[in-house]
Amino acid sequence: MNLPLLIKLENAAIGYDKREFFDSINLSIKQGEFWGIIGPNGGGKTTLLKTILGLIPPVSGKVHYREDEPLTFGYVPQREKFDHIFPISVSEFVAMGRYIRIPVGRGVKKEDWKIVMSCLERVEIPHLKDRPFRSLSGGEKQRSLLAHALAGEPDILILDEPTASMDIKGETAIMELLGRIKEKDKLTVLMVSHFLNTVARFADHVVVVDKDSGVFSAGIMEEVFSGETLSRIFGLDVTIEQVAGKMRIYAAVGGRDR
């Protein structure tokens, strides 16, 4: 299937203040793809993401976007980095994500509230609509953040460590929910994560990035993920196996599995 192209980096060098981290990057992101972006802290993940989003220009080369209409992005931050003291309800919080679609000077109308409720249903928390946002559990807040991003009807969903500080049950629930939404809505997803197995399980494309070791590799999961590359950038003894058609990654430090 020839999917529509949304974003293309063409011979792009990325970095800050004219200092290149990587050069000659060619990367195409199409509608409906799920991209995982992985690498060590300070490896260049955020710089790459900001370049893709157009928040910082490439040092050289070009970033092309879909020409027929502007792209809309929905951003889901790490909940630990979000101000949880908002004295507002869950539905009011989700409605704030709708503002990108509301003209200046117009308030939230009945049709906007219908979309808010639809987003709450999609993330499976409509029963929490009147609860104070600050009273929610960690998993409920993460679902609210996802509904907030979806309320803007984005073309591309940006996820920054969406399962950080979650236990395995919570991580699995959020990622499976995200997978269902992505498939139903044909969303494009860009997810920054440190969890290699989460990326391997849910993403179909991946970017492995580490400016210190000079690694930048992007493409289909099976072509990019390799024990050699992951061992090089994370300093771990990495083994990759195929289990029931899915990739499983085992990493060890000093002989201990991680």
**Number of structural domains found in the chain:** 1
Q: With respect to residue 146, please indicate whether it lies within any of the assigned structural domains.
A: yes
Q: What is the pLDDT of residue 245?
A: 66
What does the pLDDT profile of the chain (258 residues) look like in tens digits? 678 999 999 999 998 877 888 888 999 999 999 999 998 888 888 889 889 988 899 999 999 999 888 999 999 887 665 666 668 999 999 999 999 888 777 888 999 999 999 999 999 999 999 999 989 888 898 899 999 999 999 999 999 888 877 788 888 888 999 999 998 888 999 999 888 888 888 899 999 998 888 888 899 988 887 767 777 777 767 777 776 666 777 777 644 344
Q: What is the pLDDT of residue 257?
A: 43
Residue type at 1?
A: M
User: How far is 181 from 154, CA to CA, in rounded Å?
Assistant: 12
Q: With respect to residue 84, please indicate whether it lies within any of the assigned structural domains.
A: yes
Exposed, middle or buried, 81 (CB in 10 Å: 0-12/13-18/19+)? exposed
């196996």: which residue's tokens?
241
Domain of 80, in residue numbers = 73-154
C-beta neighbour count of 104 within 10 angstroms: 5
CATH number at residue 91: 3.40.50.300
Q: With respect to residue 128, please indicate whether it lies within any of the assigned structural domains.
A: yes
Q: With respect to residue 240, please indicate whether it lies within any of the assigned structural domains.
A: no
Q: With respect to residue 258, please indicate whether it lies within any of the assigned structural domains.
A: no
Q: With respect to residue 241, please indicate whether it lies within any of the assigned structural domains.
A: no
Q: With respect to residue 173, please indicate whether it lies within any of the assigned structural domains.
A: no
Closest CA to 144 of 135, 195, 153: 135
Q: With respect to residue 212, please indicate whether it lies within any of the assigned structural domains.
A: no
